């Protein structure tokens, strides 16, 4: 059996870590293309100026247009060539990070998230959009970023909703990895099809990945509420440090090397409902995780544990919490069918999947969540 595990070359996090950015740039050369939204640059400008002067490097600002499109990637690659940049820095949220991945194409890449809202920073994949913001395609690269650098002071001063959303994304990690392991399904850590003709693209998850995914869940339960309180106060505490690591590193390694299953597929189906468009990825994944647990007939105590955690940190536990106040039977089936298309990760569940079963799981998960809220006077 072929197994695979993928990770960044280096992961480092700490208070004011951004002051050391120049050190990592120096491992590649003297200059870097900085891909970041102007608002994110302004948030950390003093630290960027400090690291530029301390390490005598040059950061070429790119005037990032805000969308990870083929056109923007081509423009930025030309800019990197024009200024002979030694490496690429993706600083900010998901769009800037994914754009940097596409520009670097797996070489000399430093990722600096300014929020802990998703597990994308550590991965070797990106999502491409059209210039208008519509989905275009997925992109995969030969390796994960060279360096993932987390300044926990910057994360602590970001809106708490981002951190909580990241916990929602991380919440699914263990349950999806567990399902993938039980079904012996392939994971993203294997070579993407077509990268090297004649090389096997299939790979199963490792015990290491499953163990990290389980640690991800355990840390959420232990430190999630405390980390939220720290973020509310804009202070760095051990609990916040642990949840930042959980949201970004443990969840990132867990999903890519442990596998995705029903939760992310159901999330993708839910995006067809207009009401969900105002909610973050991790918020929708949290409810979708409950739906996966219903779909697999998980132990009642486990479902209650997940719902209790979500309620404690402010994650959605029913459809109304993600903007779906009413859903017709036709809309429900549309969501379920989208979650069940051939390419979706839901087929990594260890049993046959039907759209009818998914629709039923969503309905029951919603009911469980609503009853929980009533019982708690929420």
Q: Which residues have a catalytic role annotated?
A: 169, 264, 267, 281
What is the SS3 assignment for 147? strand
Measure the CA–CA gap between 291 and 317, rounded to whole angstroms.
10
How many beta carbons lie within 10 A of that of residue 284, not counting itself? 30
Taking phi over 0 as left and psi of -120 to 50 as alpha, with beta for the rest, 210 belongs to alpha
H/E stretch holding 151 reads strand 147-151
For the stretch 94-108, what's the b/e string if a residue is b when 16 or more beta carbons lie within 10 angstroms of its beta carbon?
bbbbbbbbbbbeeeb
| Contact of 101 with 145, CB cutoff 8 Å | yes
Please state, in angstroms and as integers, the Cα–Cα distance from residue 8 to each residue in 122, 206, 208, 209, 269, following that order.
6, 17, 15, 14, 30
Measure the CA–CA gap between 203 and 222, rounded to whole angstroms.
32
């Amino acid at each position: 059996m072929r197994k695979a595990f993928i990770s960044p070359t280096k992961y480092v996090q700490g208070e004011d870590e951004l002051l050391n950015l120049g050190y990592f740039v120096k491992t590649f050369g003297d200059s870097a293309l900085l891909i970041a939204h102007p608002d994110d640059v302004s948030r950390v400008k003093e630290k960027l100026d400090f690291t530029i002067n301390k390490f005598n490097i040059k950061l070429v600002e790119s005037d990032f247009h805000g969308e990870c499109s083929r056109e923007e990637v081509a423009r930025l690659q030309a800019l990197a060539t024009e200024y002979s940049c030694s490496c690429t820095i993706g600083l900010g949220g998901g769009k800037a990070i994914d754009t940097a991945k596409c520009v670097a194409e797996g070489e000399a890449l430093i990722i600096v998230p300014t929020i802990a809202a998703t597990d994308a920073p550590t991965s070797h994949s990106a999502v491409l959009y059209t210039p208008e913001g519509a989905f275009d395609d997925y992109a995969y690269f030969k390796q994960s970023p060279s360096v993932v650098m987390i300044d926990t002071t910057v994360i602590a001063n970001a809106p708490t909703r981002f951190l909580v959303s990241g916990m929602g994304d991380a919440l699914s990690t263990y349950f999806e990895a567990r399902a993938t392991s039980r079904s012996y399904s392939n994971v993203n850590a294997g070579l993407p099809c077509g990268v090297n003709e004649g090389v096997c693209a299939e790979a199963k998850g490792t015990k290491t990945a499953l163990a990290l995914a389980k640690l991800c869940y355990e840390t959420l339960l232990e430190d999630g509420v405390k980390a939220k309180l720290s973020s509310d106060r804009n202070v760095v505490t051990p609990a916040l440090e642990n949840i930042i690591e959980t949201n970004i590193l443990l969840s990132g390694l867990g999903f890519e090397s442990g596998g995705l299953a029903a939760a992310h597929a159901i999330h993708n189906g839910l995006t067809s409902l207009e009401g969900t468009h105002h909610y973050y990825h991790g918020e929708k994944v949290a409810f979708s995780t409950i739906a996966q647990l219903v779909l697999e007939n998980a132990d009642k105590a486990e479902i209650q544990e997940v719902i209790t955690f979500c309620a404690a940190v402010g994650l959605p536990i029913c459809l109304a919490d993600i903007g779906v106040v009413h859903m017709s039977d036709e809309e429900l089936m549309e969501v379920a069918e989208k979650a069940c298309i051939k390419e979706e990760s839901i087929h990594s569940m260890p049993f046959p999947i039907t759209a009818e079963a998914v629709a039923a799981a969503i309905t029951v998960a919603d009911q469980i969540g609503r009853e929980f809220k009533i019982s708690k006077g929420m």
